[in-house]
A and B are shown apart, each in its own frame.
Chain A
Amino acid sequence: MIDYLDAFYSGLLNILPLTDHGTDAFIALLLGVAIGFVVGILPGLGGAVTLALMLPFTFGMDPTQAFAFLLGANAVTATTGDITSVLFGVPGEGISAATIVDGHPMAKNGEAGRALGAALMSSLVGAIFGALMLAIAIPIIRPLVLLIASPEFFMLAILGITFVAALSGGNMFKGLTIGGFGLGLAMIGLDPIQGIPRYTLEPLLGQKESLFLWDGINFVAITVGLFAIPEIIDLGVKGTGIAERASDKLGGVTEGVKDTFRHWALVLRCSALGTYIGILPGLGGGPAQWMAYAHAVQSAEDKSRFGKGAVEGVLGPGAANNSKEGGSLIPTIAFGIPGSLSMAVLLGAFIIQGLVPGPNMLDPNLPVRPDAAALGEFVPTGLELTFSFVWVLIISNIITVAVAFLFLGQLARITEIRGALIIPFILLLVYLGGFTVANRPQDLALVIIFGVLGWLMVKYDWPRPPMLLGLVLGRLAENRLFISTQIHGDFGWIDRPGVIIIGVIILVSLFFPSWQERRQRRRLRNADSHQPAPGAPIDGDF
């Protein structure tokens, strides 16, 4: 227990400006928060896209700085996204869309300040709740992780892809195909066991040009292409400015803050809901905010106020879309299964930093990178680094909310930036991001190829997250499969209890959603057959 408390305290010290390395990490955190702040306010650019764009800049950083920078940026996008949702009725983030339903009518009713006060304060409470849940989960989850060996880790990687594939996009076959495509991309390059070149396209590109594929495909170039290029196309096609209306004068912010504490039970329940949904891989912030909104409506006495400017409709989603960050970090750190798309991109940062999610991240004594520690560099233990994530979530949200309260009026003006003004800058940043990882001109071509592929995937309703997950987990899964077959024989590892249990969960996660859909369709059919005749009054009209 002392180890945990010690690591919890060290995790805080490592990101505060009290030591040299703490100062560096704190500056990285502030920089990340500033970027996340602006991105959150600008509609169209999500937290995951921001993380993808920022990944290349973490190469020169140590693990604490890198995660302070990335988590700081990611943690605040949902918070500031609520500002745009309330003021303009346009979600700053996909995960802050539910705030519009009651937040924007409040703004129209002249209660913009109250709505913003409620959204920001509930976001802060939610973020702290989620971070504390992460801290509490660590000692509980560690013994569980230590029971897991290579065969189970291989199965967990497949489970992660299956979860995300089955749950994203609503089409399981498409999701699994894309997950397989991601795993296929991870196979490109020299095989990790004997160094045999695989899929390096030598006959097509020639011997010299195909050499750049020997190191494997550039994860960052693919990520920025896949996610940022479709966003740029989207911005260009819409052809609109960021916001179509100018913001009104704000007032009543304190009242909104008080509302958060008046409805404290609702805020805590929605925070718990958000954390729980965050833990479930593949669901992300979208369902969290809507389930929290549904809970706010369902638990209210007067349901007729919702949709017209009920403050509870702002408090619920505000708390949930922030608390899910802490929740989604739990499976990401412990098992390498990302709880959301942002976490999938964050797994890329683990690779860049040379870290492996799992037991090492929860070890109170072992440096997270023993090689760097041996060279005398400052390296935190796995547990210290994990606890620093908790503190980053808390501190970045406190800073964000404080700044937002100070500059609320001026912040609203950012949304008036024309889309055309930011497109060339984002495009250059995308190419720069793809290039900086390996300084290879060929990676720019990868950005375009995967950008167009990502756009086609959006156009033809193919989910993108499973591909990223396959790409990130591919090498890890291959190593674990190889170790498993070497230790237990070709198929000897399949009858291990852990493997069987995870296999059953994979099957359930594959078939449960389609079974559920079929059941829902049958229910709808039954309801249709009992529908009243045209003109008859409809009961239960919400």
Chain B
Amino acid sequence: MAIFNLRLLPRLLFALFFTGLFAWMLWEAWFGFGQISAGAALFPIAILVPAVVIAALATVQELLKHRNSPQHEPTPIEADLGAAVPIILEPGVERRRTLVILAWIVGFYLGICLVGWVITAPLSVLLYLKIAGRESWVVSVSSAILAWLFFDGVFDCLLKIPLSERLTGIFIEQLQEALGIDVTRYVLVPFIC
């Protein structure tokens, strides 16, 4: 008897996620907002009824397809469209590098949330190039200055996209309250505007 391979569980859960999501959306359409307005529920019901069935079929197919697979093969890293050359890496190396780059992606986001866009843009470029890219100080610092001039100078100052105003950051907001001055808008941004 074939034993279910636990390493395939994430694939199955991913497929199940869509089935569950569609079922919840259908429930909401039928018994939630559908009770207030039938017109609002018309399109969701028309689409979600077949969608639940199809997602369930996709889940079953995923289960049957990989049920007897001896082990999970390393996935070629390739985009489905616009892909470059598929490269096969050792699963351990791929996992470690993926976690590192994911941490950087989330780190950039947290940086924006905590200290705001104006500081994060040059700082994140400097830290990434120095730590992840192992670039020299000259390259890292000059790139950080370039990032500051480009993102804050062009987009905030010239194109008037309210980066310093709307993406101020929690810490900077508190600092501004404590000091009583607008650190990013009146101190950092005008410095390059």
Interface residues of A (CB under 8 A from B): 43-49, 90-91, 93-95, 168-169, 171, 173-174, 176-178, 180-181, 183-184, 187, 191, 193-194, 196-199, 227, 229-234, 236-239, 284, 286, 341, 418, 420-421, 423-425, 427-428, 431-432, 435-436, 439-441, 444-445, 447-448, 451-452, 456, 458-460, 462-465, 477-478, 481-482, 485
**A94 and B125 form a contact (CB under 8 A):** no
**A181 and B151 form a contact (CB under 8 A):** no
18 A–B pairs (Cβ distance < 8 Å), ordered by A: A48-B82, A168-B80, A176-B51, A177-B54, A177-B55, A180-B47, A181-B51, A184-B47, A187-B44, A193-B39, A196-B40, A198-B44, A237-B101, A421-B143, A452-B102, A464-B80, A465-B80, A481-B43
List A contacts of B1 (CB < 8 A).
none
List A contacts of B163 (CB < 8 A).
432, 435
Besides A435-B167, A452-B102, 14 new A-B residue pairs in contact (Cβ under 8 A), listed by A number: A93-B82, A94-B81, A176-B58, A177-B58, A180-B51, A234-B78, A236-B101, A237-B97, A238-B87, A418-B133, A424-B147, A431-B108, A439-B162, A448-B105
Complex CA gap A238/B97 in Å reads: 8
Say yes or no for B28: interface residue by CB 8 A criterion: yes
Tier of interface size on chain B: 35 or more
Say yes or no for B177: interface residue by CB 8 A criterion: no
Complex CA gap A232/B98 in Å reads: 10
List A contacts of B80 (CB < 8 A).
168-169, 458, 463-465
Say yes or no for B46: interface residue by CB 8 A criterion: yes
> How far does the Cβ of A418 sit from chain B's closest Cβ, in whole Å?
7
Say yes or no for B175: interface residue by CB 8 A criterion: no
**A173 and B79 form a contact (CB under 8 A):** no
Say yes or no for B138: interface residue by CB 8 A criterion: no
**B167 and A191 form a contact (CB under 8 A):** no
List B contacts of A91 (CB < 8 A).
84-85
Complex CA gap A183/B25 in Å reads: 12
Classify the interface of chain B: helix, strand, loop or mixed.
helix
> How far does the Cβ of B11 sit from chain A's closest Cβ, in whole Å?
5
**A90 and B79 form a contact (CB under 8 A):** no
Q: Which residues in window 142-156 of B have CB below 8 A to A?
A: 143, 147, 151, 155
> How far does the Cβ of B26 sit from chain A's closest Cβ, in whole Å?
10
**B84 and A439 form a contact (CB under 8 A):** no
Complex CA gap A431/B107 in Å reads: 12
Taking A233-B98, A431-B109, A478-B43 as contacts, is the C-beta distance between A94 and B83 under 8 angstroms? yes
List B contacts of A436 (CB < 8 A).
155, 161
List A contacts of B188 (CB < 8 A).
none
**A477 and B43 form a contact (CB under 8 A):** yes
Interface centre among B46, B75, B102, B105 (most CB of A within 10 A): B105
- Closest residue of chain B to A84 (Cβ to Cβ) is B84
Q: Which residues in window 69-114 of B have CB below 8 A to A?
A: 75, 77-85, 87, 89, 94, 97-98, 100-102, 104-106, 108-109, 112-113
Taking A173-B57, A181-B21, A481-B46 as contacts, is the C-beta distance between A428 and B121 under 8 angstroms? yes
Complex CA gap A177/B132 in Å reads: 37
Complex CA gap A453/B78 in Å reads: 15
